[in-house]
Structure 1
């Protein structure tokens, strides 16, 4: 293997180890989206039925796919704070895995 190819491979392996160490430090991971919304209550005489400003809330709604189906949950403010972090963590892991894949490609194509 030529010396410059070996150096590129060593550098790529070093970057992969950095990626792994970043991934292992991440704790909670969740997919989906978190939105804040106001809702109508369903009581026919409530003001929220006719006046959008009188709707109840705001409520934190977490939506995600589970088993191919869209699932929605109303979550507490504390749960919403944790979910926001977990959703950001998942996106960070996805980006890191993309980098890991590119480094792996560099190593594999350099070998051939």
Structure 2
């Protein structure tokens, strides 16, 4: 039984090492939501007022909580691409941290059964 516990501890430690490596391989990380929008400008003589295909955009908006307030910012297409990757990285890191926590619990408590 002790050998099983040692093997389980080694396996959990190996999985933690893999989690650390995945996190270390990520570059940009940020929270928030990225939206793509098209808008009417409101000028009555503009084509967008009468032609739905002439709506302006796309515009990219990055929304996030900062200092307890919801902050909105219009970003360029290039910035939106970078933000999309950074937001995906942040979500993956959160998931990896939950896995890391489960592996730590398995090591500390010596649990043989582990939920994936």
Q: Is there any run of 5+ residues in structure 1 with no aligned partner, and where?
A: none
Aligned with 1:31: secondary structure? coil
Aligned to 2:114: none
Matched, 1:13 2:13: yes
Determine the C-alpha separation between the residues in 2 that align with 1:109 and 1:49.
65
Aligned with 1:29: secondary structure? coil
Aligned with 1:91: secondary structure? helix
Determine the C-alpha separation between the residues in 1 that align with 2:41 and 2:20.
47
Aligned with 2:74: secondary structure? strand
Aligned to 1:57: 57
Deviations 1:64-112 (A, max 9, x none): 111111111111010011011111111111111111011001011118x
Q: How many residues align?
A: 111
Higher deviation after alignment, 28-37 or 39-48: 39-48
Aligned to 1:94: 94
Aligned to 1:79: 79
The runs of 4+ residues in structure 1 deviating greater than 4 Å are 44-54
Matched, 1:70 2:95: no
Aligned to 1:34: 34
TM-score, normalised relative to structure 2: 0.83
TM-score, normalised relative to structure 1: 0.86
Determine the C-alpha separation between the residues in 1 that align with 2:69 and 2:47.
33
Q: Is there any run of 5+ residues in structure 2 with no aligned partner, and where?
A: 112-116
